[in-house]
Structure 1
Amino acid sequence: MDRRVAGTARAWGRGKARTWRSAREPECDIVTTERRSNGMGLYKRCQHKGRSRDRCEHEWHGSFQHRATLHRTSLSKWADEDIRSKQQAQAIYERFRQAVRDGRVSPEEDRRDGLRTFDELADRYVERYVKPRGLRTAADIEYRLKPLREFFGPKEIVAIKTADVEDFIGDLRKPRVVNRQADRTLSPASINRRLAQLRHMFNWAVAREYLERTPFRRGSATLIRLFREDNKRRRRVSEDEERQLLDAAPPLLRAMIVCALDTGMRRGEMLALTFGDVDWTNQVITLRGETTKSGRTRMLPIATLRLKAVLEWLRLDDANETKGDDVAVFSNAAGEPVRHFRKAWETTILRASGHQPEWEKGSNNR
């Protein structure tokens, strides 16, 4: 019997609600449930209690122990119905119990909660992990999921073994077309990002009992290891290189270079910056938590005269009017935010090196 069931059987026999945080699911939501001493009951994975729990929008789950095997499932997924009341959930739960007794439901089917293929797991991961947390890296996660879907998509998740992950690594290491350049290979860091994403998905699925095991580990042994990365920064931009870059850059990119050099902001942090984040009185820039890599809000001083001059120049539109607080700091004259500047950056680097680049028509470098 599940330790959580055995350890709280006496309290359930009194009909009381119990809350616990599973040792296997350290990061999951608190589970509030009502069960009887025989291990059967309805529950929701949420923090609501009493009538609030009965009426909240979270899914109803059911658990039923039959012949020393504990069956759990999402009742709405099992019945393929939209459950709108506790009474409806109880009726479906009784049908689920009878199906277990009749042998029409297996424990493995309960555990997967309707999931069959990797594509379905990826959809559930985005729906229940990425979106509810409002992750600022949601777009990056969708991008990293693309090669995972292409390789594992229709494969059943219970059939994905360690050897399949090793085959995936081998596929990632093959030469391929990258940015329209043939015979390019992914760096160890790029491969690691994809493997880390896959590993987190399987760990997440195991923690929520969709799966029993992850192909990355067997017990305490690690079966798949990430590659060693060489990410050490060799040197900083010299004063001469800085001057050459600023001389070769167009006005808007020049402002971005100054901002990056004088504040140390990352690319995504700069592009998400609005004039409302700039405190002109105290000469401070606020980086909102939802835009930073760490998820924490940071305060940066406007420490140089050139940075102050650049921000004041960016604040004015073509009519010499002040832009609103909701306008992106790095935007065009119409107030439209900058999204991509790869081509401008590469052109500036080439010009600073004494070259005059000519781009082919239809180039996808932005």
Structure 2
Amino acid sequence: MKRLMVLITVVLFVFALSACKHKDEKIVITIGMWPDETAKEDVEMFKEWKRRFENDYPQYEIKGQNYEYNVDTFLFMAETGTIPTVFQTWFTEPQKLIANGYVKDITDELKALGWYDKMDPEMREALSAGGRTYGVPRDGYGLGLFMNLKLLEEAGLIEDYDHDGKLDLYDPEGNPLYPQTFDELLSMASTITETLEYVAGFMVLSANKQGGWQFSNIAWNFGADLQVQENGKWVSKLNSPGAIAALEWIKKIKHEYNALPSDVSLSYNDWWSKIGQESSPCALSAATRLPLRLLTWTNRPTIRTLLCRCLPVRTVTGIPCSAEHRICFLQKPPASRSWEL
């Protein structure tokens, strides 16, 4: 809590020059990440931070605003001066916000606090322009495979080799039994679909924003550049060879191997429900979104997430990993790791 309080304090101080004066001459700071009133514990936490800050710095007045960044309304809010003093957005947005002068250079303050060199270099780069930094990364997440090991065992893909009561993801020689490439994932999904009745070997989300989000990460691993800069403008390249290869992979797993669920529209809530109900063995998942409720649907700890590495998600470009399309989600890790829930 103390660390978060310091973060808010520093950001408020940095943006104080652009804050508004109230009639009693106090400088009004609007916090755009203020939680929704239904999140009572979070609201109380923010109120306590507000009380402490205003007590230490009585020249300021803190106001909360539950603001969610929206590209359709941001320009209007910017022109009318109604953007919160401090707000958060996605990693796709900082460069255009910087270019249009909507955010403040805080490089000197970050260095004075010793934060500059502690920031992840790739995250800092996404928040910088011309050698100057304009924001602080709040959080990031990693993507990986979330798997129901019970279904993998039933399909004959894994077993408890050392007889310790837990299913193993490595054979006795130490070779990984989980898929390490998209070809291996295709093979595993096909085997499960053919072996187990009423079970689809894999899931690819398609509804809402999740379809594009997951496809982007798959496409990057096939070497796609989904956006490129041409003549000073960002241009979509959804027909790039890498993107086409990713679409061909999805087409193959769906139509040649019949290894995807029959549902045409799958959203984020569907992946964990299908894995928990044992109608699908694995899906792509963000590390920050692992629902512990899955454990209530199994008799033993057989739900495991396999993460190649927790990495900040970069939603502008991706990094092709290797010729065989290794499943590494943005960057090839030094080693794969797994955690059992």
TM-score of the two chains, using structure 1 as the length reference: 0.23
Bigger helix fraction:
1
TM-score of the two chains, using structure 2 as the length reference: 0.24
Q: Which protein has greater RCO, CA pairs closer than 8 Å, 6+ apart?
A: 2
Query: Which protein has the larger Cα radius of gyration, Structure 1 or Structure 2?
Result: 1
